[in-house]
Structure 1
């Protein structure tokens, strides 16, 4: 739980209260919740010329349509968000709705463009719950249309950004995927009433036209009204169970409506499949931080919307943390930022150049269950239109950019994503190129749903194609997690160094399951101390060009007393000697080699280790970000996940050729990769015999992997971790052997 700082109990100080409009019919003292006649409170809001702050929510799995009225409090930190008061009787509680802007990610120390968007809390004073039918009847049945609709970036300009991000960011090792937004801008046409009334009319259309949303909602506060239909839960907490819901991969319905053939092609498309795996890995990092026992992965599922479908997983775990701390530690989802999230925030700030407002943030509903325990339900604020009092409308949208991204396809995806919300305005033409709403089936043709209302997920072969994706994933994450203590590892102390990528939380979680005592520290929090006594330089042997390994000139106080140092993954170029992070990783590696102390290095740190040992390190011809491959290491074939743009090379170092991937989820036949083992400074190098691409190193007190042992893509990750760690700190054994890890 290294990333969590406890929040203070109870309600905060006075904060900044925003006034309720004078003369509003809601200024009376709050009464008992649910006391209004059906539709009564909602009808008051519809009729009000100047309504007070309110929210109307339809939540997936919720009690109906919730109508919330209260006062607005602005606070600076998530820790200051007030908790709901204890109700006088079960079921009579009044919740708090917090609107968390993207700029709040600064609480995690991440970059953002500070646009001043406030963290606003609707402290509810009146609450009623009505049925969907009652809500539709009470909401205004009025046309709401747009004028002057246009994207702030042209399609060509956005396509150019896609090209640059793929080549200059993913292609240079800065991350596996990134989400860059563009904004649809427009004005309300012919508006005569308050903006809040227009938003309520839009809500009515969304309730009828977008049934697949996780939340369908309107929130009205002074100076800003938002209305949307977001498909994605960010995080929820109830009864100590934490749930996250990574969604990625987008099937845009074609002009004639979705077909089974198109859907099946989408379900095996490597780009779409890998997108989802990458965000699952990213959210597992968060779950491993906030949940004592990590997160279990269930799914995948098909999430059907009016104009498109997504694929999704559910991640579940248990935590005793304050819900506000859970919210902070999970800011923000990879599906709206990228991976790794920390560096993705920096990329977003550079390429977007303006603040995101609430886009990519969350609307967090804090309530109490029948036992009085605080609950949290927080969707991601996407597919949401923001209405200003003067009638200006902004609808932000983004696409997930990965190594496979085709600029025109990503442009089309942004059009498809705004189309569902634009349909509520009755003017889908505002986003040229958007696909039409899914029409009712005519029943003609076996490839289409045979009857109106038929779910795409029920079509023949769909469930099997989804289940097939899990065939080569890590059972550790797919099954209920349990402790599997290894006697010689129990109680051994591990220091895990975070190199600006929270993969380290997953590694730490796995090591704890083995019975080890784990501490996670950021690279820039380590403290240099006394000089190290020089040792005999290590000289690699041929075919690598000989270099002299210089022993570290300083040691780090944090290393004292740890039985194993694990240096983790991170973004960037491992060859950059001017980067303080790379210099620190190099110093840590040199220190362990010089002192003969146990070291495990993963991905970026593996590349640094290879560089220290004199192996050539350079960019791959194509990135392997989010790629599952079958390779041969430690005398056996393994299926593991790669997230790298750089690699070390042994021997001639010829460029790696195509066809080395196992295929996403095993959807293509795995290809065996031959290996060559050469002794380099007493370390066995496991590399591709043809290309020289290095997959792993292993020596007496050192081991490293280019692949991610901790990834959901690494079917053999846990077994390899047991074997490698056991070899580093357990009894002496023959290095490079393929010993059965179950014997540890």
Structure 2
């Protein structure tokens, strides 16, 4: 179809009934994709080849409900995994496409948010108190929708909104319109969730939202935002969460570069880039990375549960992805490259109703009114472009000719003070994740095996990657599948982190207690992390208590058995001893005496055994940061986190002790 005049092409799309997609992603062209629509049930069913096995290009709209493939919960609205199997594609010069698209405003009726500002602020308070405050996770994204009635031909509305976003919204990763018979999606997404090209996987966590003041952002106003602890830690937490995903799909774990600024029309975001190597099928990469923590929360599985508790209606495609699978001609590796932006800053039109979903990332020190403002700011780019709210009018500098064309503004990232503030963030981060990685199995513990028991926090994938760097032959097993034989056979067991109250009697907590007790009472090498550290402390008779203020995404410098270490903490509960305690001989009631069999070969007179434990605790509060004793060690912080500058050194020390 190359060489066609763009005017009749786009006119035919407006007047016709065939499905199509428009994508602008390089700043110079608009890709026009046409073909047939196929709805499938699973990501593995995305039809990347025809009946003869010939590779073909597919654009898939992946709804949020696909998290069911990973066993996560959601409000299931039946939104289809919709695939446009591309038969033809045309690349039009951007200016020609713009000239051919309709520009008359689309009237909206009864426009406004479905949840009032006051009600949304109440939801924020509940999530902070009832979810983050109870240890259910570090951060959660709860959405609200801007809704309106639309009495215009849907295809005309889609083309009009696409043109408006193309003209008005800058800095988007994709500006797109996907038009099918009963569903339309038009957006300007700033965030590439995941891409895979020539064996290189890239993720682009974006977090921290600076709403431009009237007249636009300046270096001075942006600098104040960049100094915000809340905004900085919010970005670090989503980088940690996406590194969990990278460690699951990339043999080299993933390397961080950045931070960078993502400047848009009404907002500026901070972002990092993560890159690693993988030979997985791109559909498997997509499944393992469902979905971005920037639009769900962390840890991922519990974030989905929290979303289901606090959002009363299904998400549809919000927080899913638009995934373009393009044949790459490979005969040895994956046959398709993947480019998948997150479905945010997107307007949906179904049955005459417009919906623009937006969400705020809620953390331990979120301000409810501030989070309300963030949802307004995120919606404003789309709503301003399509005419639902007034557009920003740039303010001319004092003394300037108001009628003169505005001079091009230098990107704020090029301001020396801004560049220095951005670069200084990396001083806090773990060098391990900033440097190239390729474990070769020659570390200090080479020849030994490690079993990591996952308690529903995929920090375990990052831990496993670090363990392999230390030479350990490492495998991860979900808590529900950790058999006694597996737990007994490993040279080292790492009992992992997870959400929730360690004092609960849920099946997950009971299973993690079994893992810890089997290793403890057999004098078999054990490292317990975060939640499991608290479970171990409880086994040793140390009190557990909720923190007055959750430590979610908090970096602290602590003394770990005579050595200062900068470590990242994600905990709501803590083990606590009397201030000044450093050593204890603790008499422990064996699990056998509690009616749970450990198979312990040790004689346990009257169900009790004395275990000496060394304690590393805060000298003022008694909060326990680490424990060690015969064949065991534990740590409250996450040594695998990017916030743990001394994570690898501390991990090696604790493993050496346990072994």
Match of 1:482?
Answer: 438
Match of 1:505 among 461, 466, 470: 461
Q: Distance in 1 between matches of 2:180 and 2:362?
A: 33
Q: Is the 8 A contact 1:359 1:396 kept in 2?
A: yes
Shift of 1:353: 2.0
Shift of 1:63: 7.1
Q: Distance in 2 between matches of 1:201 and 1:51?
A: 17
Match of 1:467 among 413, 423, 446: 423
Secondary structure of the corresponding residue to residue 489 of structure 2: coil
Match of 1:425?
Answer: 386
Secondary structure of the corresponding residue to residue 66 of structure 1: strand
Q: Distance in 1 between matches of 2:199 and 2:51?
A: 18
Q: Distance in 2 between matches of 1:260 and 1:62?
A: 25
- TM-score if structure 1 supplies the norm length? 0.81
Q: Is the 8 A contact 2:28 2:94 kept in 1?
A: no
Q: Is the 8 A contact 1:182 1:398 kept in 2?
A: yes
Shift of 1:478: 0.7
Q: Distance in 1 between matches of 2:321 and 2:443?
A: 44
1:106 aligns with 2:34: no
Match of 1:73 among 22, 38, 48: 38
| Deviating more after overlay: 257-266 vs 242-251 | 257-266
Q: Distance in 1 between matches of 2:129 and 2:424?
A: 31
**Alignment RMSD:** 2.0
Match of 1:624 among 551, 554, 577: 551
Q: Distance in 1 between matches of 2:615 and 2:53?
A: 67
Q: Is the 8 A contact 2:6 2:100 kept in 1?
A: no
* Structure 1, gaps ≥5 residues long: 1-32, 430-435, 528-555, 653-674, 730-744
1:172 aligns with 2:166: no
Q: Distance in 1 between matches of 2:372 and 2:43?
A: 34
Match of 1:234?
Answer: 193
Secondary structure of the corresponding residue to residue 549 of structure 2: coil
Which structure carries more helix by proportion? 2
Q: What whole-Å deviation, never above 9, does each CA across 1:540-575 have from its counterpart, x for those lacking one?
A: xxxxxxxxxxxxxxxx12123210000000000001
Q: Distance in 2 between matches of 1:249 and 1:70?
A: 38
1:407 aligns with 2:312: no
List aligned pairs for 1:190-205, cutoff 5 A: 191=152, 194-205=153-164
Q: Distance in 2 between matches of 1:348 and 1:486?
A: 43
Q: Is the 8 A contact 2:252 2:439 kept in 1?
A: no
Q: Distance in 2 between matches of 1:202 and 1:643?
A: 42
Secondary structure of the corresponding residue to residue 635 of structure 1: coil
Match of 2:599?
Answer: none
Match of 1:337 among 296, 308, 312: 296
Q: Distance in 1 between matches of 2:410 and 2:31?
A: 28
1:358 aligns with 2:320: no
Match of 1:690?
Answer: 620
Q: What whole-Å deviation, never above 9, does each CA across 1:583-636 have from its counterpart, x for those lacking one?
A: 111111111111100000000000011111111111001000001111111211
Secondary structure of the corresponding residue to residue 243 of structure 1: strand
Q: Distance in 1 between matches of 2:187 and 2:52?
A: 30
Secondary structure of the corresponding residue to residue 457 of structure 1: helix
Q: Distance in 1 between matches of 2:478 and 2:234?
A: 27
Q: Distance in 2 between matches of 1:629 and 1:487?
A: 27
Match of 1:598?
Answer: 525
List aligned pairs for 1:624-663, cutoff 5 A: 624-651=551-578
List aligned pairs for 1:135-154, cutoff 5 A: 135-154=97-116
Shift of 1:721: 1.3
List aligned pairs for 1:46-61, cutoff 5 A: 46=14, 48=15, 50-59=16-25, 61=26
Q: What whole-Å deviation, never above 9, does each CA across 1:658-697 have from its counterpart, x for those lacking one?
A: xxxxxxxxxxxxxxxxx75223432110001111011101
Q: Is the 8 A contact 2:443 2:472 kept in 1?
A: no
Secondary structure of the corresponding residue to residue 295 of structure 2: coil
Q: Distance in 1 between matches of 2:448 and 2:546?
A: 36
Q: Is the 8 A contact 1:484 1:514 kept in 2?
A: no
Q: Distance in 1 between matches of 2:648 and 2:51?
A: 44
Q: Is the 8 A contact 2:177 2:187 kept in 1?
A: yes
Change (3 A) 1:201 1:491: same
Change (3 A) 1:84 1:65: farther
Match of 1:677?
Answer: 582
Which structure carries more strand by proportion? 2
Match of 1:308 among 267, 272, 276: 267
Match of 1:346 among 292, 305, 322: 305
Change (3 A) 1:455 1:245: same
Change (3 A) 1:700 1:438: farther
- TM-score if structure 2 supplies the norm length? 0.92
Q: Distance in 2 between matches of 1:173 and 1:444?
A: 55
Match of 1:613 among 536, 540, 546: 540
Q: Distance in 2 between matches of 1:453 and 1:385?
A: 29
Q: Distance in 1 between matches of 2:71 and 2:530?
A: 23
Q: Is the 8 A contact 1:55 1:217 kept in 2?
A: yes
Q: Distance in 1 between matches of 2:139 and 2:424?
A: 24
Match of 1:552?
Answer: none
Report how many aligned residue pairs link the two structures. Answer: 626
Match of 2:492?
Answer: 564
Q: Is the 8 A contact 1:58 1:216 kept in 2?
A: yes
Q: Distance in 2 between matches of 1:408 and 1:74?
A: 40
Q: What whole-Å deviation, never above 9, does each CA across 1:53-105 have from its counterpart, x for those lacking one?
A: 0000012x48721000111001100000011569999xxx8521011000010
Change (3 A) 1:255 1:62: closer
* Structure 2, gaps ≥5 residues long: 401-405, 586-610
Shift of 1:261: 1.8
1:211 aligns with 2:177: no
Shift of 1:451: 4.4
Q: Distance in 2 between matches of 1:505 and 1:599?
A: 18
| Deviating more after overlay: 702-711 vs 627-636 | 627-636
Change (3 A) 1:605 1:438: farther
Shift of 1:41: 2.9
Shift of 1:133: 1.0
Match of 1:384 among 346, 366, 382: 346
Q: What whole-Å deviation, never above 9, does each CA across 1:699-744 have from its counterpart, x for those lacking one?
A: 2310000000100000000111122212222xxxxxxxxxxxxxxx
Match of 1:34?
Answer: 2
Q: Distance in 2 between matches of 1:406 and 1:710?
A: 29
Change (3 A) 1:215 1:316: same
Q: Distance in 1 between matches of 2:241 and 2:156?
A: 39
